[in-house]
A and B are shown apart, each in its own frame.
Chain A
Amino acid sequence: QQQVKQSPQSLIVQKGGISIINCAYENTAFDYFPWYQQFPGKGPALLIAIRPDVSEKKEGRFTISFNKSAKQFSLHIMDSQPGDSATYFCAASQSGTYKYIFGTGTRLKVLA
């Protein structure tokens, strides 16, 4: 029940295209869902996050869509750029725990 399932494992997108990464969770006590971006040799960097009382959040080219009834959330990267090539992790946490459960990661490659 603590798992967060992430798909796909890898993704190749043409420059200018839309990248979509999906995550699903089981624990309904989770109430904070961040996405992290990680480049090789670096630590994960917080990209965007959402709470379950909101169905969508947009920051620049990055959008999170959240479906509370399906217990799913996804990251959309619009107008994908080669500089977006990185590994993306979804995560979930429960208020007060300061503990994240991470998805397995998606390696995104954007072709120039």
Chain B
Amino acid sequence: KAGVTQTPRYLIKTRGQQVTLSCSPISGHRSVSWYQQTPGQGLQFLFEYFSETQRNKGNFPGRFSGRQFSNSRSEMNVSTLELGDSALYLCASTSVTGAGTEAFFGQGTRLTVV
């Protein structure tokens, strides 16, 4: 079974630009979550999508947005990039099992804003 695929792996953007990141979840998983990972703030929840609907949103400004397609693939968009947006952006594909809500992460997209 293929894992979570995130593209691209690395991105360099200039302040003020916008960026779109892509995530393909594990086949059969309908929930996709996004997290931002930085050395200072750790792993922080951005938002979660299930069947094309955003069900949960973290404490990030409106410049951060996302969407999910009918095939469960998801994209996140960051507009008007700031230097502080430099981070590893992680996508998690989630399934509910008897143990709990298990999240499987992709390798992430390393975004550098210059």
Contacts and interface: CB of A to CB of B under 8 A. Distances in A.
Q: Do A and B truly interact?
A: yes
Nearest to B100: A32
B2 interface: no
B101 A43 contact: no
Contacts of A105: 42-43
B25 interface: no
B100 A46 contact: no
Contacts, number: 68
A105 B94 CA distance: 21
B90 A43 contact: yes
A104 B90 CA distance: 16
Contacts of B94: 98
A11 interface: no
B42 A102 contact: yes
A43 B45 contact: no
Interface string A31-67: 1101010000111111001010000000000000000
A97 interface: yes
Interface residues of B, number: 27
Q: Which of B31, B55, B100, B108 has the most chain A CB atoms closer than 10 A to its own CB?
A: B100
A37 to B, nearest CB: 11
Contacts of A104: 42
Contacts of A43: 4, 6, 90, 105-108
Interface in B8-27: none
A3 B48 CA distance: 19
B36 to A, nearest CB: 11
Interface in B95-114: 99-108
Given A98-B33, A99-B48, A100-B45, A31 B105 contact: no
Contacts of B31: 98
A99 B33 contact: yes
Interface of A: 31-32, 34, 36, 41-46, 49, 51, 89, 91, 93, 95, 97-105
Interface of B: 4, 6, 31, 33, 35, 42-45, 48, 50, 55-56, 58, 90, 92, 94, 99-108
